[in-house]
Amino acid sequence: MTTALRGRYNAGMGNELRGESGHSAEHFGDTRDHWWNIDFLRLMATRWRLHEVHDVLDVGCGVGHWGMLLASVMAADVRFTGIDREPRWVERASERARARGLDARFTYRQGEAQRLPFPDDTFDLTTCQTVLIHLPDPAAAIAEMARVTKPGGLVAVAEPNNLTESLLLDSITNDASVDTILDLVRLQLTCERGKIALGEGDNSLGDRVPGLFVARGLSEVAVHVNDKATAVFPPYTTDDQRAFTEDARDRVARRLWNWSEADARRLFLAGGGEADRFPELFARAFASREAIVRGLDDSRFHGIIGGEFYLVAGRKLPIPR
């Protein structure tokens, strides 16, 4: 980690965007750079033959974390283009590239994942991170990503199954009753189904991405699981641990579960949940967040933070000769 980045961690997570209304603002802090082990990405660079890549498209780039991480395991002359539907994220990504001396290699512009503003067969690698889970038609986005990829080029995405995280039991949540644990899983699943019903995406799409790749004609489809898992235990001094503890306290302070109470209610009802059950379920979910913070305060909390996070890749078939 660079001295400058370490300094930002010592001051906190470094997410000045938290609390803004823009899509994914809660997740654009410096901790996003720590979703992956760099040695694992180097391994993936070998498996994906990234030494053959010269032009990369980062779809739904946000403020640029994923593309810049990939750049760290690729040749210094590889060119990156990022697109995002939010103009302010395009501006922020450009600022981050300039601050890191990467602006000669990175270009950002506004655009939609399902209508990519590029000609056919433009990029050697087209990629995204946690973008398909927020789209009403991920298959259409995959088709677009394949379209702008050169024949023989690679389409690679990083997408999770977020529901799995609800079954990770730490030292605090493991003490809950079976009924409480199952209720929290039911609440999350119902909200995720509501998100699908509203056309806002599928938070646990990751398991089904390989099939979508095959359906879109991509070949050599392969799946790898992100090997990064964060162990949190007292005295919570590592960068990852401090990021988790700060985020946990911030969410309780702002009364956030996985969503705000209003958003959770909206998704829960859209997913077929019963209106009279929601107050009790949300209260249980938020109480579990509060219990974790109390466990952090008195050093009783320990556990693993993670869930299933997949890298799915496939190649666009070469043009027959």
Domain that holds residue 24: 3-315
pTM of the complete model: 0.88
Per-residue model confidence (pLDDT) at position 10: 32
Q: Indicate whether 163 pLDDT > 50.
A: yes
Q: Indicate whether 17 pLDDT > 80.
A: no
Longest dimension (CA), the chain: 68
Per-residue model confidence (pLDDT) at position 5: 28
Q: Indicate whether 1 pLDDT > 90.
A: no
Nearest residue to 132 via CA among 150, 155, 113, 148: 113
Torsion over CA: 259, 160, 108, 8 (sign): positive
What's the rounded Cα separation, in Å, for the pair 35 and 129? 11
- Cβ neighbors of 221 (< 8 A, separation 6 or more) are 210, 213, 214, 312, 313, 314
Is 198 within a domain? yes
Q: What is the arithmetic mean of pLDDT over 222-236?
A: 95
Is 320 within a domain? no
Instruction: Give me the number of domains the chain comprises.
Output: 1
Q: Which CATH number do you get for residue 23?
A: 3.40.50.150
Give tens-digit pLDDT for 109-138: 999 999 999 999 999 999 999 999 999 999
- Please give the distance of CA 189 from its chain centroid, rounded to a whole number: 18
Between 1-5, 187-191, 232-236, 254-258, the lowest mean confidence (pLDDT) is in 1-5
Is 160 within a domain? yes
Is 61 within a domain? yes
Q: Indicate whether 270 pLDDT > 70.
A: yes
Is 136 within a domain? yes
Is 267 within a domain? yes
Is 321 within a domain? no
Nearest residue to 120 via CA among 91, 87, 147: 147
Per-residue model confidence (pLDDT) at position 30: 59
Q: What is the arithmetic mean of pLDDT over 5-22?
A: 41
- Are 71 and 102 spatial neighbours (Cβ–Cβ below 8 Å)? yes
Q: Indicate whether 14 pLDDT > 60.
A: no
Q: How many percent of the chain have pLDDT more than 70?
A: 89
Give tens-digit pLDDT for 234-250: 999 998 899 889 989 99
Q: What is the arithmetic mean of pLDDT over 256-265?
A: 96
Per-residue model confidence (pLDDT) at position 250: 93
Q: What is the arithmetic mean of pLDDT over 23-28?
A: 49
Q: Indicate whether 104 pLDDT > 50.
A: yes
Is 270 within a domain? yes
